[in-house]
Amino acid sequence: MMQGPDLRFTDVVHEASRFLKNHHPSLTLPIPIEEIAELKMNIAVFAIPGIKSLFGIDAYVNSDFTQITVDENSYVKFPERARFSIAHEIGHLVLHKDWYEKYGPKDLEDYLSFYDRIDKQAYKYIEIQAQTFAGLVLVPSELLFLELRKRLGRVPSLEAPEILAPVIQDLPEVFKVSDAVILRRLEKEKIVKLN
**Structural domains in the chain plus CATH codes:** 9-138 (1.10.10.2910), 142-188 (no CATH)
Residue 83 has pLDDT above 90, yes or no: yes
Residue 44 has pLDDT above 80, yes or no: yes
Mean of pLDDT over the chain: 92
Residue 100 has pLDDT above 60, yes or no: yes
Compute the average pLDDT of residues 131-141.
Answer: 98
DSSP class per residue in the chain: -BPPP---HHHHHHHHHHHHHHH-TT--SS--HHHIIIIIS--EEEEETTHHHHHS-SEEE-TTSSEEEEEHHHHHH-HHHHHHHHHHHHHHHHHHHHHHHHHS-SSHHHHHHHHHHB-HHHHHHHHHHHHHHHHHHHS-HHHHHHHHHHHHSS---SB-HHHHHHHHTTHHHHHT--HHHHHHHHHHTTSB---
Q: Give the per-residue pLDDT at 3.
A: 66
Q: Give the per-residue pLDDT at 104.
A: 73
Q: Which of 2-6, 54-58, 82-86, 130-134 has the lowest mean pLDDT?
A: 2-6
Q: For residues 6 and 167, which has the higher predicted lDDT (pLDDT)?
A: 167
Q: Give the per-residue pLDDT at 147.
A: 97
